[in-house]
Amino acid sequence: MRGRMIALFTIGIILLFLASCSSPRHPVNNAPDIINPVAARMDSAFVTRGAVKTVEHLPGITRTDSVAVRLESVGGRFGEFYVFPGDTVTAGQLLARLDTDNLGKQIERKEYEINRMRQLNFFDNRERLLEIAALQLNYAEANRAAAENPGLNSIENINKISGNIERAVLAVSHAQERQALDLRDAETRLSRLRDEAANAEITAPVDGTVIFLAVSHGERVNNRDVILYIKPHNQRVFVEYIGQEMNLSHARWGAGAQGRIGESVDATEQIFDLAFIQPTLEEQLYYNRRGIAPPIRYEILGDETALPPAGEFMSIFFYTHWHEDTLRIPRNALFIGGADGNYVYRIENGTHIYTPVTSAVPTETYVAIFSGLEEGDEVFVRP
């Protein structure tokens, strides 16, 4: 019995060994299904009729042109103001003045210098004239001596004295010319100082409101420096674009703009119609010489009493492209720069037909079509 159990156990072990040899050690993965490529999708769209527009928003600030007040005199040290920002002034009103104490001292010094020059010139010229008179006496004495004792030495002495007289007279003439030039320069400077003193007071050129003081006490100024700015009472407020310089053209910045105070887009806020302000020729030349573009400005239309004050931030928004009622296609249906200009692929009976078109500048979504297509035509659209 025991022998039979050992035999059965041995047979079981052999069977298990054979089974393990016939089975794979790792599972076999099935091959994946073949992936069929997806065909490229060809989109299309129909030519429709409607509006084509692009609205652009820009930051701006309300401003007003101001009058820059300068000195009428040559210049000097600034003294003091008699007005401050926010003060209302009338034309001719005293606004400020130069430091006339310093000007007075300069005038006194220049007057003393001129008087001293005249005194020195007088004594110098008198001394030279006395020398000439002495030479003339010697010349007369030499002539008498030559008449009494004619001879070669007498003639040479007379000629020598005559030459000295001519040189002395010429020296006097040159000295007087130099004195006259120096005196004229000093008197011109004195005249300028007196003009500065006479024009030391700065008055308002127009009725308006003081908005900015540009100098301080003791500062050296001349007639090119701005002393202060005044906003005239009759000056309207305008909006100025405050971003980086951009291409200036009527097509880009033209009519149809509107402005809204602040950054909100709440439709209940007050909206102002704006009109593009074309820079004058003088303004264009001024900025061109400095290599910068003129500022982009819009006039605020409407009742002057309802206009916003200067210094308010305003959001400017306008249509950069606008076609009220036109044929249009999606932007991606237009191809740029073909042999005949811009073109599309019109789809007819499943065939793509090359079709030149006349179009406007594309917007972010649509392109206005002026010729080459008709409403209802189907065109290919790039994915």
- Least reliable range by pLDDT among 69-83, 90-104, 121-135, 149-163: 149-163
Q: In this predicted model, what pLDDT tens digit does every residue of 103-145 receive, in sequence order? A: 778 888 999 999 999 999 999 888 888 888 888 888 888 888 7
Question: What is the predicted pLDDT for the residue at 90?
Answer: 94
| Per-residue pLDDT at 31 | 34
Alpha-carbon torsion angle 88, 93, 95, 100, nearest 10: -170
pLDDT value at residue 26: 38
Q: What does pTM read for this prediction?
A: 0.40
Place of tokens 């420096």: 225
Euclidean distance between CA atoms 368 and 148, whole angstroms: 122
Tens digits of residue pLDDT in 350-360: 889 999 999 88
The ranges assigned to domains in the chain are 53-65+235-381, 102-199
- Domain 53-65+235-381: give its CATH superfamily: Efflux pump adaptor protein, beta barrel domain (2.40.30.170)
Pairing of strands 313-330, 208-213: unpaired
193-245 confidence digits (pLDDT tens): 787 777 788 899 889 989 889 899 889 888 888 899 898 887 778 888 877 55
pLDDT for residue 327 is more than 50: yes
What number is the average pLDDT over the span 310-317?
Answer: 79
**pLDDT for the residue 114:** 92
| Amino acid found at 261 | I
> CA–CA separation, 46 vs 378, rounded Å?
4
d(CA 31, CA 18): 29
pLDDT value for 257: 66
Split at pLDDT 50, 70, 90, the class of 260 is low
The share of the chain scoring above pLDDT 90, in percent, equals 21
Residue 373 in this model has a pLDDT that exceeds 50? yes
In this prediction, residue 19 carries a pLDDT of: 47
The band of 292, judged by pLDDT with boundaries at 50, 70 and 90, is: confident
